Amino acid sequence: MPSLNSFNTSIFPTWCPGCGDFGIWGALKQALESLKINPDQAAFFFGVGCSGNISSFIRGYGFHSLHGRSIANAAGAKLANYKLPVIVIAGDGDMLGEGLSHFIHAARANHDITIILHNNGVFGLTTGQSSPTAEIGFKSKPMPWETTDEPINPCALAIMQQAGFVSRGFAGDQEGLSNLINQAINHSGFSLVDVLQPCVTFNPDKSYIWYRQRIKSVESVTSDVLTGIKNSLWIDERISTGIIYQNSRPAFHSNYPQLVKDNLLDTTGKKRDISKLLNGFK
Amino acid sequence: MKSEISIKVGGPAGAGVKSVGQILAKTLQRSGFQVFEYPEYPSLIRGGHNTELVQASLGEKYSLTKPVDLLIALDDKTLKLDLPEVVSGGMVIFDSKIEFKPSPSKIIYLSIPLSDIAQKLGNPLMANVVAVGAGLKVMGLSTLMTSKLLTDQFFKKGPDVVAANIKALEAGWNFVKEKGFKPILDSVDVKPSNNLMMTGNEALSLGAISAGLGLYAAYPMTPSTPILHYLSAHQQEFGYVVRQAEDEISAVNMIIGAMHMGVRAMCGTSGGGFALMNESLALAGMTETPLVVVLVQRPGPATGLPTWTEQGELQYAIHAAHGEFLKFVLAPGDNREIFQMAFEAFNLAERYQTPAIIMLDKFLSESSMTCGNLFPDKFTIDRGKISDPLKLKRTQNYQRYQLTDDGISERSLPGMEGGVFCANSDEHEYHGLVDESSSMRIWQVDKRLKKMDAAAKMMPGPKFIGPKNAKITIVAWGSGKLAGIETMEMINNEQKTKNNEQRVKNRVNVLHFSYLWPMNVKAVSEALKNCAPSTLLIEQNATGQFQALLKEQIGWEPTAHLRKYDGRPFYAEEIIGKIDKLVNGLMDS
């Protein structure tokens, strides 16, 4: 049985004091403990950034990927061994900037992977440039007046592609977040947990208080795309949290007849007899 | 009368040029010939000018020569563009609907109402089958073997379609019979042959399937796309999975993810897609994750000549990606080597926990070649140092990135008890946790580079082909092997005439390189010392990339070189022309 401590490594997190990443770190460990997943019974794929640095703070089978590519790694990993839970942890800069196409295509395919998106609207590790989710008006060194780009809404994007499970949580609510992560991991298909995460150093305007004043739980889970998209939007100073959209599309790997019973990990890597194929070239 | 033949078929895309080439090639293969079939086509779907060059011999056939004995023209463009290649005494078959008045020459022209005959038989699309029938008769072959082929090919479309195609075939054959030409070939003694014929892309796919492939991911890109199609068609039967990814970056990263989990995986692409994969090669290098990438070259830069051939990415493949790490670059020269290296690439990638790149080119990957057998029994799977789950369970403090003598450390797989680690793209300590200290950086760099030394020492050297006491050695890499051997055979079997006196005095052999990187300097130096007094290095690029590599690594330079970069493959005559200059002292380089 795993305990919270079994997910700790020899390195204590190097995030700024008060960083929202601490809440996500705690919620993730709590979810894994409640699901009774041991550190060696899941595969984690990390992006690059402050969030990706969690790769050295979570004990488990980790893969600290390149900036933007962790979802693609995870999609291949799930096809390779669909028996292990596959969890992706990356930030909004990573996953919605450089890695945006992987995000959309993985949602479209409905790969059975869980995505924990550290969404703080800023590039923290490179000291505060605007990220794809930065709101209009955000000021940063590369754009000294203010950002005019419309922010990306990851939940709306995922719902558009009818991803299996789309949710939003808050790093300041560790209990609620761990519950969402738990359900996301349990969902068979693409599951997104978009985590509102304060960056106290480079995006101090969006503080814990700022979020608390705006977040509100969705009333009910919908499987209707239009309702889901509507609920995912940040409108009227209101940000919905909880499971925003869920459907029962089959997970991507289950579409392959050869994977119905067998796991690639067990059936491949052994020498095959190809004499039948060779006869076709006579 | 002769025992070898060269046929060229030309027409617009969509006219069935490829079918004519394939049916003729298959007929010749099954009649006991060695066959080489080379397709040329521009990057479009309808129109343009497509050709199939089918060359066959009852002796050996390695690669292309220039002369065409029989030209089958399905359009007027073929009569304009390809006519100069037809030999004196050769034959041209063309559709009577083409307005064409041959000028007087020693070429025999045969106007056949291909379209009209097909139309009368119910389907104008069968004009190309009528052409095949006519071609068979001109060569001196019966329709027997070909009828069987057509029966197999159209079996699924029903007996009516089969019957109509066989009628079209016979109509073409009978049309020529009535004209009473002397056949080009000696009477062919058809004997069943077990000789396999396939493309390089197919040989590569077979190697991967045999080696226990688990996942293939790719984004379509000529000339690597046929691998995606062939592997996909057989995935259910063999239990592996094929996935068309959203781009090449995704393809390579899916493969890295699968390999990390312990599943043999491969991706394939051409130069542009390979460029997109570059950063991820470094990811595999740093995390010590095995990776197999197929790079099928075509002429660049950028989109270049998408459907043509070049060996322009050797230096690029060797140096691809940022940072210093071991990668293997393998460049097989024929179908047997392609099969072997596809198999071997998985072993190397897993044994050394690093990327392995297999380089083909359009010429090698899309040409169909007879290759005897592939001998899959000769190869065994080596998965390297993967942890034994039972031992791992009892191991205290397992270290994925432990320092070892050869730099290779034990690899646990996600799900194995007691093997937790982080495959970290950041510099890391023994468990994979981030570590930026000076000492750990040096230890881990040295660990990874030790693998390079170990690998270089075991890389096989180049191979000599042909006589030992040669006066000239043709030095080639990758697909250059085939053109090299074809040239060698032509020169060494030549009868002396007044034009080739200098040449026939010089016997030729070939030195072929397929294990390119890391370079086994000792084995390569040794081989180069055993070259003939004169050497000619042939390669299909403009800057002499392999020559530069040999100079850099060994300090060796050839007597002369021949470089081709017009997108067309080497023809033996071009290499012979260069050798003539060499032996007559008319060297220009």
Q: pLDDT tens for residues A82-108?
A: 999 999 999 999 999 999 999 999 999
Count how many domains chain B has. Answer: 4
Banded pLDDT at A192 (limits 50, 70, 90): very high
Residues B170 and B234 in one domain: no
Q: What pLDDT is recorded for position B1?
A: 47
Query: How many contacts does A have with B, using Cβ atoms within 8 A?
Result: 208
The Cα of B37 is separated from the nearest Cα of chain A by a number of Å equal to 14
Q: A145: domain CATH number?
A: 3.40.50.970
Residues B468 and B449 in one domain: no
For B249-305, give the DSSP string.
HHHHHHHHHHHHHT--EEEEE-HHHHHHHHHHHHHHHHHT--EEEEEEE-S-STT-S
CA dist B584 and B267 (Å) reads 47
Using a CB-CB cut-off of 8 Å, the residues of chain B touching A81 are 261-263, 414-415
Nearest to B255 by CA among B245, B267, B246: B267
In chain B, whose CA is at the least distance from the CA of A81?
B261
What is the tens place of the pLDDT at every residue in B323-365? 999 999 999 999 999 999 999 999 999 999 999 999 999 999 9
Query: Is B188 domain-assigned?
Result: no
Using a CB-CB cut-off of 8 Å, the residues of chain A touching B379 are 271
Query: Is B298 domain-assigned?
Result: yes
Residues B48 and B114 in one domain: yes
Strand order in the sheet with B265-269: B241-244, B215-218, B265-269, B291-297, B355-361, B328-330, B515-517
Q: What pLDDT is recorded for position B589?
A: 47
The Cα of A64 is separated from the nearest Cα of chain B by a number of Å equal to 5
For B460-520, give the DSSP string.
---EEES-TT-SEEEEEETTHHHHHHHHHHHHHTPPP-SSSHHHHTS-EEEEEE-EEES--
Q: Residues of chain B whose pLDDT is less than 50?
A: 1, 589
Q: Tell me if residue B108 falls in helix, strand or coil.
A: strand
In chain A, the percentage of residues whose pLDDT exceeds 70 is 100
Query: Among partner residues A56, A76, A101, which is closest to B433 by beta-carbon distance?
Result: A56
Using a CB-CB cut-off of 8 Å, the residues of chain A touching B236 are 257-258
Higher pLDDT, A261 or B415: B415
B557 Cβ contact list (under 8 Å, min separation 6): B547, B550, B551
Residues B256 and B328 in one domain: yes
Residues B476 and B563 in one domain: yes
The Cα of B27 is separated from the nearest Cα of chain A by a number of Å equal to 11
Query: Among partner residues B249, B381, B433, which is closest to A72 by beta-carbon distance?
Result: B249
CA dist B39 and B368 (Å) reads 9
Q: B56: domain CATH number?
A: 3.40.920.10
Quick one: how far is CA B380 from the chain centroid?
Answer: 23
Interface mutation vs chain A, best among B368, B425, B428, B429, most A CBs within 10 Å: B425
Q: Is any Cβ of chain B less than 8 angstroms from the Cβ of A221?
A: no
Distance set, CA B440 to CA B402, B403, B405, B433 (Å): 11, 10, 16, 11
Q: Is any Cβ of chain B less than 8 angstroms from the Cβ of A111?
A: no
Residues B175 and B225 in one domain: no
Residues B85 and B42 in one domain: yes
Nearest to A189 by CA among A243, A245, A229, A249: A249
CA dist B63 and B276 (Å) reads 33
Question: Taking a C-beta distance cutoff of 8 angstroms, is the pair B99, B117 a contact?
Answer: no
Q: B496: domain CATH number?
A: 3.40.50.920
> Considering just the CA atoms, what is the radius of gyration of chain A in Å?
20
Q: Half-sphere exposure of residue A192, counting CA atoms within 13 Å on the CB side?
A: 36
B581 Cβ contact list (under 8 Å, min separation 6): B560, B587, B588
Q: Calculate the CA dihedral of residues B115, B118, B124, B128 and round it to 10 degrees.
A: -70
Query: Which residues span the domain enclosing A11?
Result: 4-279
CA dist B369 and B559 (Å) reads 31
Check residue A41 and report its DSSP letter: G
Interface mutation vs chain A, best among B263, B291, B393, most A CBs within 10 Å: B263
What stretch of H or E contains B342? helix B335-352
Give the ipTM of the model, two decimals please: 0.98
Domain limit, last residue, from B458, B479, B494? B458
Quick one: how far is CA A217 from the chain centroid?
Answer: 20
Q: What pLDDT is recorded for position B193?
A: 77
Quick one: how far is CA B491 from the chain centroid?
Answer: 24
Residues B368 and B230 in one domain: yes
Residues 72-101 of A with CB under 8 A from B: 72-81, 83-84, 101
What is the tens place of the pLDDT at every residue in A126-185? 999 999 999 999 988 888 889 999 999 999 999 999 999 999 999 999 999 999 999 999
Query: Among partner residues B210, B258, B419, which is closest to A271 by beta-carbon distance?
Result: B210
What stretch of H or E contains B352? helix B335-352
Assessment of whether the complete model's pTM goes beyond 0.95: yes
Count how many domains chain A has. Answer: 1
Query: Is B384 domain-assigned?
Result: no
Query: Which residues span the domain enclosing B247?
Result: 198-378
Cβ separation B423–A60 shorter than 8 A: no
Q: What pLDDT is recorded for position B510?
A: 98
Nearest to B229 by CA among B239, B240, B247, B242: B242
In chain B, whose CA is at the least distance from the CA of A46?
B424
Q: Is any Cβ of chain B less than 8 angstroms from the Cβ of A263?
A: no
Tokens (6 digits) for B581? 């200059």
Q: Which amino acid is at B156?
A: K
Cβ separation B211–A264 shorter than 8 A: no
Cβ separation A56–B240 shorter than 8 A: no
> Considering just the CA atoms, what is the radius of gyration of chain B in Å?
26
Query: Is B403 domain-assigned?
Result: yes
